[in-house]
Amino acid sequence: MKRMIFLACLLTTYQLMLGQTANENQKIVEEILSLTEKYNKTWETLNMENVAKFHSDSSFRYYRNMKLAVSSNDEFKKILPLYMNGTKSWKIEVTNPVVQVLDKNAAVIGFTGKAEMITTDNKVSDAGSGAYTYVWKKFDSEWKIIHIHESAK
């Protein structure tokens, strides 16, 4: 019981240091979960210009399997349409999402994803199943992704 009280006090102290309440943190968690769902659904449209609207234009990195795939949102807009050329459908099934609120303007979501791609010649492939991490940052009251990391399982 003493340990639970200590942990509750520690959490309260941490939240006060950040200047946020548990309710404010929960609101951010809900925002990030919702935005991540919208972002992943936008990939299903295969419109990479719309996908790129979720990214920061000033700071964006995308890593796939420990390698830098794109180093800016402009590069994403140029390369990903080429990469997705020949794709008929793409979707991801998200499981076990966990959001960590770093402060009122920064949060990280990690989850396990099972991605599937169907090419225009109807070949089905694993399009990136494994662990995903998105770092979200708030710019002028709008959340944007500044970093993506995908690791194959």
In three state form, how does the secondary structure of 6-49 look?
Answer: HHHHHHHHHHHHHCCCHHHHHHHHHHHHHHHHHHHHHHCCCCHH
Structure tokens at 75: 């590069």
pLDDT of residue 22: 87
pLDDT of residue 152: 84
Angle, helices 2-18/22-43, rounded to nearest 10 degrees: 70
Structure tokens at 33: 């979960």
Q: How far is CA 81 from the centre of its chain?
A: 19
CA dihedral of 138, 42, 86, 120, whole degrees rounded to 10: 160
Q: Considering Cα of 33, then 34, then 37, then 38, what sign does the dihedral take?
A: negative
pLDDT of residue 9: 45
pLDDT of residue 70: 96
Could you tell me the pTM of the whole model? 0.85
Structure tokens at 125: 């492939």
The CATH class of 21-152 is: alpha beta
Q: So where are the chain's domains?
A: 21-152
Structure tokens at 123: 């070949």
Phi-psi sector, 78: left (phi>0), alpha (psi -120 to 50), beta: alpha
pLDDT of residue 19: 65
Strand partners, 143: 138
Q: What is the pLDDT along the chain (153 residues), one digit of tens a residue?
A: 444 454 444 455 455 545 678 899 999 999 999 999 999 999 999 999 999 999 999 999 999 988 999 999 999 999 999 989 999 999 999 999 999 999 999 999 999 999 899 999 999 987 778 999 999 999 999 999 999 999 987
